[in-house]
A and B are shown apart, each in its own frame.
Chain A
Amino acid sequence: MTSLYQERREDEAMGAQSGERLVEVDGLKTYYGEEGGLLGGKPVKAVDGVTFDVHRGETLGLVGESGCGKSTLGRTLMQLETATAGSVEYDGTDITTLSGKKLKEWRQNVQMVFQDPDSSLNTRMTVGELVMEPLNVHSWKTPQKRRERVRELLDVVGLSEEHYYRYPFQFSGGQKQRIGIARALALEPDFLVLDEPVSALDVSVQAKILNLLDDLQDEFGLTYLLIAHDLSVVEHICDRVAVMYLGNIMEIGPVDAIFDEPANPYTNSLLSAIPEPKPNAEKSRITLRGTPPSPRDPPSGCVFSTRCPYKIRPDAYENLDDDVWEGIEVFREVLRERGDVTKSVRDRLRGLLGMETTGMDVEEVVADTFDQLDVPSDVQQYIDEAVEHVERDDLVSAQEVLHEEFGSVCENEEPEQLAVGDTGRVSRCHRHREEYMGTQTYQDVHDFS
């Protein structure tokens, strides 16, 4: 069983300690579709400029809500998607430029474990054939040796030899995932991309699979990129964690530091969603307003600015009543969602023909948002101006008016990655800059939850 990876185990264990970089991702972008097109479509910016490293021997978690680009990032690292820009250096080679034979050669180093074992295992092949397939593709040694190796692999992942000639559907979900892991290990890869490996499994089985992955990592010195939306899974198994939102990495750092003391506002709100096991525990849960913006048309500046509860206010409104400020933000979010450019072809045609109707009752929205509040007159005048624009079906002007007055650095400048603490953690937020109030201070001052 231990013969599988023996030669390289020791140096890899050392590599893990030294924090040597195995994968270096720099400014990676993956877009679907193209700018322009017949009806003025925009590309989906699934991954929009991420920069991070994966160290040898570690487990890097990648978390974020659905549709934030985690899976696309994982697939781009595996060269299953073509990067639009940026580079991915694996052990010193830029793999985005590889092709043909070299790419095939390189693929042995990186393998993937998929989310849904029902879909990732060809149902018409036996377990033996499935696990042997990568070996066949790379003409690994002799057929006899391949069969032996498959048996060893089955043993390593906790299946038995009798399973060799069975078909995937004869297994439970957890066992199927073990088959998938055995297949991923077949070519002795160094780096495994685990794409939600346990989210399709029963909770009781999840722990077993995670422990198996943990054991395999210790044994073979593997490096993992664990894509997950289950934060407790990440906390359990990862060394470092990267938090993604709308194609960007908002914060990346050691898992303990981030879970104990999230620095980025997005991380903060994400972590506040973890349920507490104690029913009567006091917990402030941050509910974000609105929905995530479309990745076709991400907001200017910080991508999280449209929903951020810690958004920096213009100096003039620093002392504005919190509820009124929140009301303004909600109103802007409503306008933004209605004015979304990801319209159907029919809607776009209507727009071109000047028949566009937003179908919204702006008075009602304003009434819902501001009726209970004491809105200062200097704020009210801008709201009224925006409402006028909306009534003329001119959402863009309305948004511009509000942006002009209530916008801040968050919407105007893209935040850079700034170091937080001394644990090697970086986060993208303007609040980390000296001139602005930190998130914690802001929360204390404005006391929201």
Chain B
Amino acid sequence: MSMTENKNDSIVERVKENPGPAARWGAVMAFLLLLEFGAIWGGIMSIPWDVPVKGLADVLPAAIGGVVTGIGSVFADVGNAFAEVPTLLERQWIPNRGYHVPGEGWQGTFLGLEPAYAWLIRLTLVYVYAAVTAYWAWRGYMTFRRHYRYADWTPADDMIDRFRSHNWGRFGLIIVAAFLVMALFAPAVSPTTESQNMTNPYDTENSMVKYYNENAGEVQEVTAGSANLASKSRGDRQNFGLWTYDKYDRFHPFGTLTTGKDLFTFMAFGGRISLFIGLFASALAGGIALSLALLTSYYKGLVDLATVLTSDAFSAMPRLLVLIMLVTVLQEHWISDIYSGAFLLAFLFGIWGWMGLWRAIRGPSFQIVENEWVTAAKGFGDRPWSIVKKHVAPYVIGYLLIYLSMSLGGYIIGAAGLSYLGLGVTAPTPELGRAIAGGQDLITTKSWHISVLPGVMITLLVLGFNALGDGIRDAIDPQSSSGDSSGEAAAAGGGA
């Protein structure tokens, strides 16, 4: 600690004073991010920007509205151009798509390897990259701690230490991280492309499949859509199960669907949707619950009573039925188009998800608000919202995270359930529930994988989030130690 002399500097000044460690860390991080620059932009561009821009343009007078859409389209062009920048983990560097010519081996694949190995290499690389980046982000925190933070110790240090020794929580973190990586890098980890598998299987430009026709003795091309017709998993008569090649030399690590599409690709992209629904709905429900808990605990009385009644009113409506009704009613509405209905679903889950969360953190909030530091803050004239934000929220957010991690699984399952019923996320956007529904009749046949693998994935994902929540709970609140069966009750009822 060389900087005990002048402890008044802001973090920027501290970095300026001793730029070495920060610069070294920043350079490596920048390099890591640059490798995936195009993908990051692709991610940004995949947000449906046109919806808010169009909405804005419609509200504004025509002249200004035109300008807004004009500016929007310029940004879109630039963004798309950035998104085109090739990245390290793009499939074109390590292609797994090729065809086998007898006597000459594999053509078109990475180093002439069998497609399965080429795909495995790419998959491994993606996870290695993700692991290195995550490690480096952690290194960044450690660098800050070692070189730039004045405090020798903060309560967060203890929480991190506790989490690090919490095996169940770490297991959850790894599962969740693995699925996050799979969803984020879905285009790179999939054996085939989104266009071939989902959006445009009959496109003659992007969705052509080369294969060696033995009868003709030459390499021919066919659209992915036509190829899919010949690779359907239909039970015992015809099945493309785990780790198989179809007649067009396409590799299917998890087999194919009843439509002949690749299941792994379907699951990777479907995981994106599931995670989006889970995280967005949790954020919305958690945000509402936290705001209301803070308000009701600060103002008490009538505000609290009104919220109790509102939450009871919401709870009294059967959630699933209301969701089914709203999804059906809003089918023609533009909101159903955003993200193929996933946005609407997530939104509705969030709007109908806050009551239990609010109830769970209302008690702790009431408890925390009674502390004299809240009175002290009133005493020097702080505003109510900033008081609860600074002096109540930090104590309650821990509980909220735990409950969220548990309800998040519910949202994912709920969305899958609705898709299973044919509602919610519409085709061609993949949703795990739809795969389960599609493969249901074949579960006793050779094509069991169609239902079972997506089901296992959802189960693992939900389990992972629950385990992570468990770990966070124990890390935040040392009193509810792991292995204590009453831990959950303590989290529900106890304060800080």
Which A residues lie at the B interface, using CB under 8 A? 75, 78, 80, 103-105, 107-108, 110-112, 114-116, 119-126, 133-134, 137-138, 143-144, 147-148, 151, 161-162, 164-167, 180, 183, 186-187
* Cβ-defined contact, B376 with A183, below 8 A: yes
CA–CA, A428 and B202, complex, Å: 99
8 contacts across the A-B interface (CB closer than 8 A): A75-B375, A104-B381, A114-B376, A119-B373, A120-B375, A137-B382, A143-B10, A144-B8
Q: Which residues of chain A come closer than 8 Å to B4, judged between CB atoms?
A: 162
User: B375-405 interface mask toward A, CB cutoff 8 Å, 1 = contact, 0 = none?
Assistant: 1111111100010001100110000000000
Q: Which residues of chain A come closer than 8 Å to B150, judged between CB atoms?
A: 164-165
* Cβ-defined contact, A148 with B8, below 8 A: yes
**In the complex, B237 has a CB within 8 A of chain A:** no
CA–CA, A115 and B373, complex, Å: 11
* Cβ-defined contact, A111 with B371, below 8 A: no
Closest to A124 in B: B394
* Cβ-defined contact, A167 with B154, below 8 A: yes
Known: A114-B372, A122-B391, A167-B155. A137 touches B380 (CB 8 A): yes
Known: A126-B151, A144-B8, A148-B8. A133 touches B395 (CB 8 A): no
Q: Which residues of chain A come closer than 8 Å to B382, judged between CB atoms?
A: 133, 137
**In the complex, B7 has a CB within 8 A of chain A:** yes
Q: Which residues of chain B come closer than 8 Å to A143, judged between CB atoms?
A: 10
Closest to A186 in B: B380
* Cβ-defined contact, B379 with A80, below 8 A: yes
* Cβ-defined contact, A164 with B372, below 8 A: no
* Cβ-defined contact, A107 with B376, below 8 A: no
CA–CA, A211 and B155, complex, Å: 33
Separation in Å of the A171 CB from the closest CB of chain B? 14
Closest to B374 in A: A122
CA–CA, A134 and B382, complex, Å: 8
Separation in Å of the A150 CB from the closest CB of chain B? 9
B1-19: which residues lie under 8 A (CB-CB) from chain A? 4, 7-8, 10
Separation in Å of the A112 CB from the closest CB of chain B? 5
Separation in Å of the A67 CB from the closest CB of chain B? 18
* Cβ-defined contact, A164 with B7, below 8 A: yes
CA–CA, A161 and B7, complex, Å: 9
* Cβ-defined contact, A121 with B373, below 8 A: yes
**In the complex, B152 has a CB within 8 A of chain A:** yes
Cross-chain contact of A165 among B7, B379, B496 (Cβ < 8 A):
B7
Q: Which residues of chain B come closer than 8 Å to A148, judged between CB atoms?
A: 8
Q: Which residues of chain B come closer than 8 Å to A120, judged between CB atoms?
A: 371-373, 375-376
CA–CA, A137 and B151, complex, Å: 23
Q: Which residues of chain B come closer than 8 Å to A121, judged between CB atoms?
A: 373
Top 10 A-B residue pairs of the complex, sorted by shortest distance between their CB atoms = A165-B151, A107-B381, A104-B381, A134-B380, A120-B372, A147-B8, A119-B372, A122-B373, A165-B150, A114-B372
CA–CA, A75 and B373, complex, Å: 14
Cross-chain contact of B380 among A115, A138, A166, A167 (Cβ < 8 A):
A138
Separation in Å of the A167 CB from the closest CB of chain B? 7
Q: For the A-B complex with A133-B390, A138-B380, A138-B381 known, give 7 more contacts whose Cβ atoms are closer than 8 Å.
A: A122-B373, A123-B155, A123-B496, A137-B386, A165-B151, A166-B151, A186-B380
Closest to B155 in A: A124
Known: A124-B394, A147-B8. A165 touches B376 (CB 8 A): no
* Cβ-defined contact, A112 with B376, below 8 A: yes
* Cβ-defined contact, A111 with B373, below 8 A: no
* Cβ-defined contact, A112 with B7, below 8 A: no
Separation in Å of the A401 CB from the closest CB of chain B? 42
CA–CA, A229 and B27, complex, Å: 63
Separation in Å of the A330 CB from the closest CB of chain B? 39
Q: Which residues of chain B come closer than 8 Å to A107, judged between CB atoms?
A: 379-381
Separation in Å of the A73 CB from the closest CB of chain B? 15
**Which of B371, B378, B379, B382 has the most chain A CB atoms closer than 10 A to its own CB?**
B379
* Cβ-defined contact, A111 with B380, below 8 A: yes
B131-185: which residues lie under 8 A (CB-CB) from chain A? 150-155
Separation in Å of the A222 CB from the closest CB of chain B? 16
Q: Which residues of chain B come closer than 8 Å to A124, judged between CB atoms?
A: 155, 394-395
CA–CA, A148 and B390, complex, Å: 22
Known: A107-B380, A124-B395, A164-B7. A116 touches B152 (CB 8 A): no
Q: Which residues of chain A come closer than 8 Å to B371, judged between CB atoms?
A: 119-120, 122
Separation in Å of the A277 CB from the closest CB of chain B? 33
Q: Which residues of chain A come closer than 8 Å to B151, judged between CB atoms?
A: 126, 165-166
CA–CA, A128 and B391, complex, Å: 15
Q: Which residues of chain B come closer than 8 Å to A78, judged between CB atoms?
A: 379
* Cβ-defined contact, A108 with B381, below 8 A: yes
Q: Which residues of chain B come closer than 8 Å to A134, judged between CB atoms?
A: 380-381
CA–CA, A104 and B384, complex, Å: 12
**Which of B7, B8, B151, B380 has the most chain A CB atoms closer than 10 A to its own CB?**
B380
